[in-house]
Amino acid sequence: MARQARHDLTQGPILSRLIAVALPIMGTQFIQMIYNLTDMFWLGRVGEGALAASGNGGLFLWLSMAFMMIGRMGAEIGVSQSLGRGDEAAARRYSQTALAVAAGLGLFFGMVLVIANRPLVMWMNIKDPAVIDDTAKYLMYVGIGIPATTLTGVFTGTVNGSGNSRVSFWCNFVGLSLNMLLDPLIILGFGWGVAGAAIGTAFCQWIVCLLFMLAMKFIKSRPFAQYTFFKKPEGALARQIFRWATPIAAESFFFTLLTMPVAQMVNERGTTVMAVQRIGSQVESLTWLVGGGFASAITAFVGQNYGARRWTRIHKEFRISVMVMVCWGLGVTALLLFGGSALYELFLPGNAEVNAAGVTYLRILCACQLLMCLEGVGSGHFRGVGKTFRPSIASIASNIIRVPLAYFMGRQFGINGIWWAMTSTAILRGIWIFGWYLLVARGLPRQDNPPADGAPILSEG
């Protein structure tokens, strides 16, 4: 099946092509954020402990993103670059190999959460026995959905890389909408609390995975006419996928791993502070979910044009992306600066202590939102051209710095010192990644030179 013209990112108006890919991805991220906020809304009716348990469990879900990213980014980069140079067969083979890799990784990490949930929770230094029990239950049930998440990541990378991100939007829209409908029933109606939230999440993750499988086989705008789910991975392609995706997976893994010591410092200060961070991090996701979604669109756009060696489109798209993300970053900054009280009142009404602490938390975090958006622009471009090692190094290094800085500032200035440590290292990461890409972009060709023979372009990891 020839790729439909509207999904070919190497032709046509740059802004409209970029928006066509970016909006569904950002829409998916918005739905995810709304679901997270809905989940918190109902868990908040159970109590602060329920919010704290789901927040601590969420750290291990973030850890699973490292495994998901290997399949997703391997598929996204491989598919986009292959289609850009006109090699549809290679694009399909990259996707199928990434799927086999993702299946093994998802089964492994899912079993870890199901079997070893309590030892993992005890490491978090939580003081409240009820929160410990709820967090362990949460991890046990969400572990069942981890394989679905890693498989879905490959399907997402495949359709995004092909330029048809709307498929991902609709599959996730159905699954997340179902999850939002189930939440009040299983959390409050059945009285399952935190365990109910986890069960609903795992169930809907498998629904989304099934919808993607149906889409890959039957919808008219599917990326490939023929697609086999259970295919032996090709060694050469698997190695290339790991070269591309391992730095990204390591970045995600170390981000979460290094967040855990900081979370321990937060948890030592009690359930109220844990609830403040749980709500605040979801509000702040307006930046990193949307920024990450836009970065995925950039990766697909740059990947296709890199495969086609259309350098002028890449340089023009960069300028457009910077303008869009600056506007978004400034908008979120204003929301965190002036709207904190209303946001916390929505989730824990009448809790003056949480509200006051939450307003301070968001006002500190607003200092890094603009640079987090620009970080997404730089990372998306690095990934599109296959240079995934560079933004990962910057991210890992800044997160390593965060741990001792949070310890020192927490001892000197209390909980607000920890918030400032988080903000300052996010600022460092944004400056580092965006500034590094500016230097790299100066060395990219300025004139187009489309490949004549369709030979693959293997880029560094």
Q: Could you tell me if 51 and 279 are in contact, meaning their C-beta atoms sit under 8 angstroms apart?
A: yes
Number of neighbouring beta carbons within 10 Å of residue 173 = 16
User: What pLDDT sits at residue 122?
Assistant: 83
Which range, 192-196, 309-313, 431-435, is most confident?
Answer: 431-435
Tokens 């949480």 belong to 354
Share of the chain above pLDDT 90, in %: 44
Is the confidence at residue 460, as pLDDT, over 90? no
Q: Could you tell me if 273 and 414 are in contact, meaning their C-beta atoms sit under 8 angstroms apart?
A: no
Question: What's the one-letter identity of residue 80?
Answer: S
The two structure tokens encoding residue 350: 């009448």
Q: Could you tell me if 117 and 111 are in contact, meaning their C-beta atoms sit under 8 angstroms apart?
A: no
User: What pLDDT sits at residue 229?
Assistant: 92
Across the chain, mean pLDDT equals: 86
pLDDT digits (tens, 9 = 90+) for 306-339: 988 899 999 999 999 999 999 999 998 999 888 8
Tokens 């972009």 belong to 441
User: What pLDDT sits at residue 144?
Assistant: 95
Is the confidence at residue 458, as pLDDT, over 50? no
The two structure tokens encoding residue 365: 């975090």
